[in-house]
Structure 1
């Protein structure tokens, strides 16, 4: 495959995933307001480092699944169960956490490693890449190989870094909007995972 196409695919998919408000975006905004844009780049670099490997893992798993289609139903069943559990957990957190969490002060010297830690907590990254790459493979837009996966991951790293940098640049303008979304984040995630789980369950029962 053309190197540029793989990089652009990674860039576009990572940008799509990074533009959605999340605890990662919120951390970028708050840290930028406290320490400035330059210091925030270290946290963003930590995010991008982990996302590089997450994109690789997602691509590999997608390739394995597409070559072993007999496991698709089993994986869908397991995934549906996990989605229901996640949905219940998100709702539990939303309705039981009444105290407002205090902003954590992050030392500048530890920003990069904190960014890595925060990105590792993002459980949706690998399933996100896995889903989109599976679709690309299924529609024959992407042919898996180690070089292609590497180029795709480079593109996804650039894309996520770019989007998080934009969040840092416009931090003052979107702070209040992200604060509102963050207060409802667990409820939103509970609804999203619940809806996807129900749709998957209906699909599995109709087969």
Structure 2
């Protein structure tokens, strides 16, 4: 496979996979409204750093776990538990934080580390990349190797960063239209993680 093909596939998979609402892109909107576009970009940098490794892990698992379904089930169980805990956390924030804080700049390093922490909690990423790459392998569009996985991950990092950056830029430009959404963001995040978590729980049961 050519380097360009691997990067392009990674970019497309990450960009398209990040379009739908998730607690990462909604957090970018919330962070951009609260702390400004520049801090949001550092947050996204933290996301992208972790997602690079998520894509690599997903690619590796796609070449191994397809023959060991019991490990996939274990990953689903752990991910479901984390999703439910996240949903409880976001609902708690929504119902306990009544006072809106004024917009304040957050240190760049703190924004970056916050992005790393949030991305580490993103249980969607590895299963998403595992499924996407397995699908590409099945269609003979992707052949796993260390270098192919590395270039694919580079493309996925660029794709996710680009998409999240659009969220950050859009949020700051239409802040007056997103104020209501920002005040309900924790509730939205709780609903999203809760629905997916319960869906996975029902599936596992």
- Relative to structure 1, the CA distance from residue 147 to residue 180 in structure 2 (aligned partners, 3 Å threshold; closer, same or farther) is farther
Measured on the aligned residues, the alpha-carbon RMSD in Å equals: 3.1
Distance 2:177 2:17 in 1: 18
Cα shift readout 1:182-201 (whole Å, capped 9, x = no counterpart): 22222112112221222222
- The runs of 5 or more residues in structure 2 that have no matched partner are none
Distance 1:74 1:169 in 2: 38
Residue number in structure 1 paired with 2:36? 31
- Relative to structure 1, the CA distance from residue 131 to residue 71 in structure 2 (aligned partners, 3 Å threshold; closer, same or farther) is closer
Select 2:132's aligned residue among 131, 136, 157: 136
- Relative to structure 1, the CA distance from residue 64 to residue 183 in structure 2 (aligned partners, 3 Å threshold; closer, same or farther) is farther
Q: CA deviation at 1:157?
A: 2.2
Residue number in structure 2 paired with 1:4? 4
Select 2:112's aligned residue among 111, 116, 128: 116
Name the count of aligned residue pairs: 196
Contact 2:7 2:154 in 1 (8 A): yes
Cα shift readout 1:99-145 (whole Å, capped 9, x = no counterpart): 213333246xxx3x344213213247753331222212332254432
- The runs of 5 or more residues in structure 1 that have no matched partner are none
SS in 1 for 2:124: helix
